[in-house]
């Protein structure tokens, strides 16, 4: 057996691995992530390296391959743990080891540290005066200037020294004489700038306290070798964050460290402020809006143990803590926890694997847990806790479902139903705040009839058809096609079209219909600046606007006590997307949106505007009844064979040559079919054109494979990779894998 070893994990060297033979006496001890001693270079000096792969063949002639000297004992640096995690990602999500390494080692290159320099006088008065007399005789102007300045103030920042026109050479000459000392201190760039915050004085209620105690007891028991996976299902406003913080307090009291994952940068402002109030400088953040220097410094602080809590989105799961005790994933249902580029890892599964390897615990929290997570909780893989009441004893919002077909019949052509219009005017008069949520989640517009509410769906897959530029409606799961009808096939109405609207249109409509209302818009355009999210949320929190308009980024985790009305402009936008999870995403978004209303002392209301008021997920969301929704959705997933009941792997094939891609896709499908002929309960679907069949003149096809056993799909992935490597087509095509994809290709 052979090991591929890297001797440097800086960004430039990640590609460069060296093959070494594994001696017989180390058989079983060498695996990805382990640190080894190896002979290196012409002189065969012994250095340390990291094993990134174990394999049966080497890439060099046998007589040129050296042997691993030994395994480094009692040394588990964080780099080893992260390399081991990279191997897990490579094996389970289909990517190269190099891609996985660049993912788990987020800081790719060292950034120059910020150094604060000062000069201090250490000579006593007698020695100082003697030196001054000497330099006056020699007319050493620069040295005299510095000594006179230090006589008045015994320590000076280097910036002041430079203003005197004194060079570093002069200062060093005085240092050599024992008159002064030059001090240098590394100053870390800190992205958190909160000051004058109120002290944290929140007390847990009985429901919260019981859950916190149960989780802590389980962690302390640690019977499984790690602290388990705990799912907190708490209604919006039930105080899940307070439970997190109570558990964190106990974990860091034991000298351990905590990673807190949040779904989007938009949550950073309020989330970090709450954590910072309780834990102060023990907290830091990481996100894509930070400069490269700030990101580098935060991971350095984590590695050195200078912080105890790291808060950030998906990539924060790779924070290089050395004594990790807990990983929290807030709003765990969020699709942003799944990477959409290779390697397509899911932060939830990756966090659980890391926790198992480091003896840590995982807490998942959501008002609308992912179907996958709730399924695992009910089958005993996770431990389930319920928070059934709001922490501040406020009532959940009263929800109104408005049938927009009736509004159309009454001649209402505006974006706002008569009910929402009435409530907006009422709240503006009462000086209360309003949030208007446009339910669009990056999908192409689905096609529906505004008269009867019927959406065009695939007859084979029960997912919405997507309108393409060639006026065809296409299913992205099975390839079914049909022409775009000119009138509705159900009611013969001419009001059939692709459905879609945007935040700017809503803002224009608000300004036109409610000219006195002060509006803020929160979308990708208005938050492109570094502090864009924080500025908008801070303005709204301070009452500088009456109406906040936005997409899903405005409805997650924010707590604005003066918001008493939430209007959901287009509930159907995600309902008929070309995705088997569309009902789940719709239920989650609507429930989260409703949860923003009435979190203060005044009761809240929410209005769901829909063309499908009879849809089960919309009805369940209006009642905020997760159990009702889960029961109907898991039945659909069972009948249709979708995750979590079965596992699903997407094999995406791409090439600039369309005809070559067609041949390759069918060849791979036949190859898989022959390989799994004796395995039960395997379904192969496709090949079909991908959701977007061509991007930048690169053609895309996808094959879906379903199995009740995830491990079988991993083996099929390995089989395809091995075969594809020796195919002649591999020079002009590529293959990628996605397990249980969060959206259709």
Mean pLDDT across 285-309: 81
Higher pLDDT, 453 or 487: 487
The mean pLDDT value for 518-541 works out to: 78
Element (H, E) at 107: none
And the tokens for 555? 């409805």
pLDDT tens digits along 346-359: 999 999 999 999 99
What band does 106 get if pLDDT is binned at 50, 70 and 90?
low
| Furthest-apart CA atoms within the chain: distance in Å | 106
Is pLDDT at 443 greater than 60 in this prediction? no
**Better pLDDT: 201 or 623:** 623
Mean pLDDT, the chain, whole residue set: 85
For 182-191, the pLDDT digits (tens) are 887 766 656 6
SS3 337: helix
Both tokens of residue 593? Answer: 């949106």
Helix (H) or strand (E) holding 422: helix 418-429
SS3 (DSSP) at 688: strand
Q: What does residue 120 show for φ and ψ, rounded to 5 degrees?
A: -125, 140
Per-range mean pLDDT, top range of 5-9, 17-21, 193-197, 246-250: 246-250
- Integer CA distances (angstroms), 425 to 430, 431, 510, 513, 599, in order: 9, 10, 11, 10, 20
Sign of CA dihedral 443, 447, 451, 452: negative
CA dist 391 and 237 (Å) reads 6
Q: How far apart are CA 682 and CA 703, in angstroms?
A: 13
335-387 residue pLDDT tens:
889 998 888 999 999 999 999 999 999 999 999 999 999 999 999 999 999 99
Q: Which residue in the block uniquely carries the two structure tokens 């964190």?
A: 248
pLDDT, tens digit, 9 for 90 and up, residues 481-518: 899 999 999 999 988 887 656 677 788 899 999 999 99
**Tokens for 13?**
């060297």
Torsion angle of C-alpha atoms 327, 330, 333, 336, degrees rounded to 10: -80
- The predicted pLDDT at position 193 comes to 61
Residue 214 — pLDDT band, cuts 50, 70, 90? very high
pLDDT, mean of residues 376-404: 88
Question: Which regions of 584-695 does DSSP assign to beta strands (E)?
Answer: 605-610, 647-655, 682-695
| Residue 621: closest CA among 403, 397, 351 | 397
Give the separation between CA 538 and CA 555, rounded to whole angstroms.
15
Alpha helical stretches, state H, 569-615? 582-594
First CA to last CA across the chain, in angstroms? 38
Q: What is the pLDDT of residue 14?
A: 55
pLDDT at 121 over 70: yes
Q: Which residue has the tokens 């094999």?
A: 651
Q: Structural domains in the chain? A: 2-104 (3.40.1440.60), 114-187 (no CATH), 206-343+353-367 (3.40.50.300), 398-444+500-637 (3.40.50.300), 446-498 (no CATH), 647-739 (3.30.70.600)
How confident is the model at residue 114, as a pLDDT? 65
Q: Which has more confidence, 112 or 585?
A: 585
For the ranges 107-111, 252-256, 662-666, 735-739, the lowest mean pLDDT is seen at 107-111
DSSP code at position 202: P
pLDDT at residue 444 tops 50:
no
Q: Which residue has the tokens 């020796």?
A: 726
If 0-12 CB within 10 Å is exposed, 13-18 middle and 19+ buried, where does residue 225 land? exposed
């Amino acid at each position: 057996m052979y090991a591929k070893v890297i001797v440097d994990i800086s960004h430039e060297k990640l590609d460069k691995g060296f093959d070494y033979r594994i001696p017989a006496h180390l058989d079983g001890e060498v695996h990805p992530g382990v640190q080894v001693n190896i002979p290196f270079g012409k002189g065969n000096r012994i250095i340390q390296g990291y094993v990134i792969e174990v394999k049966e063949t080497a890439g060099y002639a046998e007589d040129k391959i050296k042997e691993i000297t030994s395994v480094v004992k009692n040394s588990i640096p964080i780099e080893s743990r992260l390399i081991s995690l990279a191997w897990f990602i490579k094996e389970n999500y289909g990517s190269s080891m190099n891609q996985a390494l660049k993912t788990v080692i987020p800081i790719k290159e060292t950034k120059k540290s910020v150094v604060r320099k000062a000069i201090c006088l250490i000579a006593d008065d007698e020695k100082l005066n003697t030196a001054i007399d000497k330099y006056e005789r020699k007319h050493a102007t620069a040295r005299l200037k510095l000594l006179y300045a230090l006589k008045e103030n015994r320590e000076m920042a280097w910036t002041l020294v430079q203003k005197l026109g004194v060079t570093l050479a002069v200062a060093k000459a005085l240092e050599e004489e024992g008159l002064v000392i030059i001090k240098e201190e590394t100053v870390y760039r800190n992205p958190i700038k909160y000051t004058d915050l109120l002290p944290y004085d929140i007390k847990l209620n009985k429901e919260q306290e019981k859950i916190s105690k149960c989780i802590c007891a389980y962690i302390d028991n640690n019977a499984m070798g790690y602290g388990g996976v705990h799912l907190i299902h708490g209604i919006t406003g039930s105080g899940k964050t307070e439970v997190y913080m109570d558990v964190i307090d106990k974990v860091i009291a034991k000298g351990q460290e905590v990673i807190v994952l949040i779904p989007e940068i938009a949550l950073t402002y309020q989330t970090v402020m709450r954590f910072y109030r309780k834990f102060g400088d023990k907290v830091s953040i990481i996100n894509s809006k930070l400069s490269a220097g700030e990101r580098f410094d935060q991971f350095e602080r984590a590695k050195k143990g200078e912080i105890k809590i790291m808060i950030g989105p998906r990539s924060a799961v790779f924070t290089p803590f050395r004594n990790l005790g807990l990983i929290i994933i807030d709003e765990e249902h969020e699709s942003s926890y799944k990477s959409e580029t290779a390697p397509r890892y899911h932060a939830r599964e990756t966090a659980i694997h890391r926790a198992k390897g480091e003896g840590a615990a995982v807490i998942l929290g959501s008002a609308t847990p992912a179907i996958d997570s709730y399924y695992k909780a009910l089958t005993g893989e996770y431990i389930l806790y319920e928070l059934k009441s709001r922490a501040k004893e406020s009532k959940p919002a009263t929800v109104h479902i408005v049938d927009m077909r009736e509004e159309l019949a009454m001649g209402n052509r505006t974006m706002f139903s008569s009910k929402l219009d009435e409530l907006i005017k009422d709240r503006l008069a009462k000086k209360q705040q309003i949030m208007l949520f446009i339910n669009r989640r990056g999908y192409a517009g689905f096609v529906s009839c505004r008269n009867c509410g019927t959406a065009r769906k695939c007859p084979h897959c029960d997912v919405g058809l997507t309108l393409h530029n060639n006026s065809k409606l296409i299913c992205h799961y099975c390839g079914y096609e049909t022409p775009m009808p000119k009138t509705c096939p159900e009611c013969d109405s001419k009001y059939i079209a692709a459905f879609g609207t945007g935040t700017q249109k809503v803002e224009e409509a608000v300004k036109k219909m409610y000219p006195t209302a002060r509006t803020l818009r929160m979308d990708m355009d208005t938050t492109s600046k570094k502090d864009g999210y924080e500025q908008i949320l801070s303005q709204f929190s301070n009452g500088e606007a009456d109406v906040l308009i936005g997409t899903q980024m405005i409805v997650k985790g924010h707590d604005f006590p003066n918001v008493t009305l939430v209007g959901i402009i287009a509930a159907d936008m995600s309902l008929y997307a070309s995705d088997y999870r569309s009902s789940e995403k719709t239920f989650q978004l609507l429930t989260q949106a409703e949860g923003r209303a009435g979190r203060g002392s005044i009761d809240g209301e929410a209005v769901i505007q829909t063309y499908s008021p009879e849809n089960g997920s919309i009805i369940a969301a209006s009642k905020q009844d997760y159990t009702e929704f889960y029961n109907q959705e898991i039945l659909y997933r069972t009948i249709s064979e979708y995750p979590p009941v079965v596992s699903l792997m997407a094999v995406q094939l791409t090439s600039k040559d369309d005809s070559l891609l067609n041949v390759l896709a069918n060849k791979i499908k036949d190859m898989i079919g022959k390989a799994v002929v004796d395995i039960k309960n395997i379904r192969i679907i496709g090949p079909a054109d991908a959701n977007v069949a061509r991007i930048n003149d690169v053609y895309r096809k996808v094959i879906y494979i379903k199995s009740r056993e995830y491990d079988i799909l991993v083996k099929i992935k390995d089989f395809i990779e091995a075969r594809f490597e020796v195919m002649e087509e591999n020079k002009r095509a590529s293959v990628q894998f996605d397990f249980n994809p969060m959206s259709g290709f």
